[in-house]
Structure 1
């Protein structure tokens, strides 16, 4: 099968338009159209439904697009590995992690990574959905549980716990609870138990809710919970890695906290030799070592 035709088909399917694909490929619309017709004749099938607003893939077209998308990802991987050299770290690195960890721990530390590797381009994808690393939806993942996907290199970075925190101003105005039963006199700020979060966090929230919490603010990520705590709205359920960057937060009811939650870094086996991945992995590990030392000294 002619790779040029497949390449043009992939561009058209991705853009949904002959014109937009032609602009991307620096080809005329007529040239793109001829290549698509030639591919359809070769396969003896229609690959697109054509209508006034653009092109939609047929069932056969979707099958072919899945195949060309996989080929494209493999080519991107090969190109990235070729570009990586022993001395230099450059190019795009796609990193996925949760919204909470990405905004509250990772992003504030990235200036150190860019200072060391100014030509690196990090695409930080913050979402609770677990992306498929072997299919190259991302290059590196940091997750709050051990990845189950095959063909991954994984490393446990640290253990965290979900704890209760409040601002000094809130506690001065409302008092500090001494027992978990005292939470009924305070506003609890947490994620809704139906939202995506670590299971240990859900268990802790459920435990707290059993004590007749009358006032509640729920947010769908830890960044929002932190903002509520910082603005003196109540007592929040937050990961304990925040204490490094927010030392003024006061831990409330220190005996009330979640079970340990492991934090893992993972990347595909095929990126084992990638200088970008190695640089990012070393950076994260160095930051965690520094974080542990500060906690020990505090």
Structure 2
């Protein structure tokens, strides 16, 4: 099969237009159209339904587009490995993390990474959905459970526990909490039970909700929970890694916490030699160690 025709087909399928595909390929619309017709003749099938608003893939076209998309991702991976043969760490690195961890733990640390590697371009994908690393939906993932996909290199970074936090101002106004039953006078702020979250956190929330708490605020991610707590709205279920950056948060009911939530870093086996991936991996591991030291120091104060 002609690689050039496949490249043009992929551009047309991606753009949904002969004109737009021609612009990206620096070809005339008629040249693109001829290549698509030739490919359809070669395969003896129709790849696009043509109408006034553009082009829509046929079922056969969808099958071919799936194949060219996979080929493109593999070629991108090969190109990345070739670029990474240089000594300098540069180029784009796509990192996926859950919304809470990426926003509250990773993002505040990224200035140090850019200071070390100013030519690095991070595309931070905050996504609860598990992206497909072998298919290059992202280069590196930080996940709150051990990845199950094959052909991944994985490293356990740390463990997280969900705990209860509030501000001093809220507790001064609403009163202290000595036991779970005291929640009848307080507002609980937590993730919505139906939203994607770590199972240990969901179990803790279910346990608390069993006490018929009269007032609650549920949010679909931990960033929203944190903002509500910082604005003195109630007691929030939050990950314990927030202590470092939000020392004003006070722990409530210190005997109550979730089970351990493992945090893993993972990336495809084919990116083992990538200098960008290696630089990011080493940086995150250094920051985890620094985070642990700071928590130990805070505990001793």
Once the two structures are TM-superposed, the CA of residue 87 in structure 1 deviates from its matched residue by: 2.0
Calculate the TM-score normalised by the size of structure 2: 0.98
RMSD between superposed Cα atoms in Å: 0.7
* Long gaps (5+) in structure 1: none
**Is the aligned partner of 1:247 residue 2:247?**
yes
Partner in structure 2 of residue 20 of structure 1: 20
Once the two structures are TM-superposed, the CA of residue 192 in structure 1 deviates from its matched residue by: 1.1
Partner in structure 1 of residue 10 of structure 2: 10
Partner in structure 1 of residue 160 of structure 2: 160
Aligned partners of 1:29 and 1:103: how far apart in 2? 44
Aligned partners of 1:85 and 1:43: how far apart in 2? 38
Aligned partners of 1:41 and 1:87: how far apart in 2? 47
Number of equivalent positions = 298
**Is the aligned partner of 1:200 residue 2:173?**
no
Partner in structure 1 of residue 64 of structure 2: 64
Partner in structure 2 of residue 169 of structure 1: 169
Partner in structure 2 of residue 32 of structure 1: 32
Partner in structure 1 of residue 117 of structure 2: 117
Aligned partners of 1:258 and 1:185: how far apart in 2? 23
Aligned partners of 1:295 and 1:41: how far apart in 2? 66
Aligned partners of 1:184 and 1:198: how far apart in 2? 26
Aligned partners of 2:112 and 2:85: how far apart in 1? 21
Post-superposition CA distance 1:203-231 (Å, at most 9, x none): 10011111121100010000000000000
Q: Secondary structure of the equivalent of 1:224? A: helix
Partner in structure 2 of residue 238 of structure 1: 238
Aligned partners of 1:185 and 1:207: how far apart in 2? 17
Aligned partners of 1:25 and 1:168: how far apart in 2? 60
Once the two structures are TM-superposed, the CA of residue 86 in structure 1 deviates from its matched residue by: 5.0
Task: Point out 4+ residue stretches in structure 1 off by more than 6 angstroms.
Answer: none
Partner in structure 1 of residue 94 of structure 2: 94
Aligned partners of 2:185 and 2:50: how far apart in 1? 63
Q: Secondary structure of the equivalent of 2:136? A: coil
Worse-superposed segment, 83-92 or 273-282: 83-92
Post-superposition CA distance 1:128-177 (Å, at most 9, x none): 10000111111000000000000000000000000000011101111120
Partner in structure 2 of residue 48 of structure 1: 48
Q: Secondary structure of the equivalent of 1:163? A: strand
Post-superposition CA distance 1:252-276 (Å, at most 9, x none): 0011110000000000000000000
Partner in structure 2 of residue 292 of structure 1: 292
Aligned partners of 1:133 and 1:154: how far apart in 2? 12
Aligned partners of 1:181 and 1:273: how far apart in 2? 54
Aligned partners of 1:51 and 1:220: how far apart in 2? 41
Assess if the C-alpha contact under 8 Å between 1:180 and 1:256 holds in 2.
Answer: no
Aligned partners of 2:87 and 2:184: how far apart in 1? 59
Partner in structure 1 of residue 73 of structure 2: 73
Aligned partners of 2:32 and 2:118: how far apart in 1? 38
* Long gaps (5+) in structure 2: none
Aligned partners of 1:50 and 1:87: how far apart in 2? 48
Aligned partners of 2:56 and 2:25: how far apart in 1? 19
Aligned partners of 2:212 and 2:137: how far apart in 1? 43
Post-superposition CA distance 1:43-89 (Å, at most 9, x none): 11100000110101011111111111111001000000000135211
Q: Secondary structure of the equivalent of 1:253? A: strand
Partner in structure 2 of residue 85 of structure 1: 85
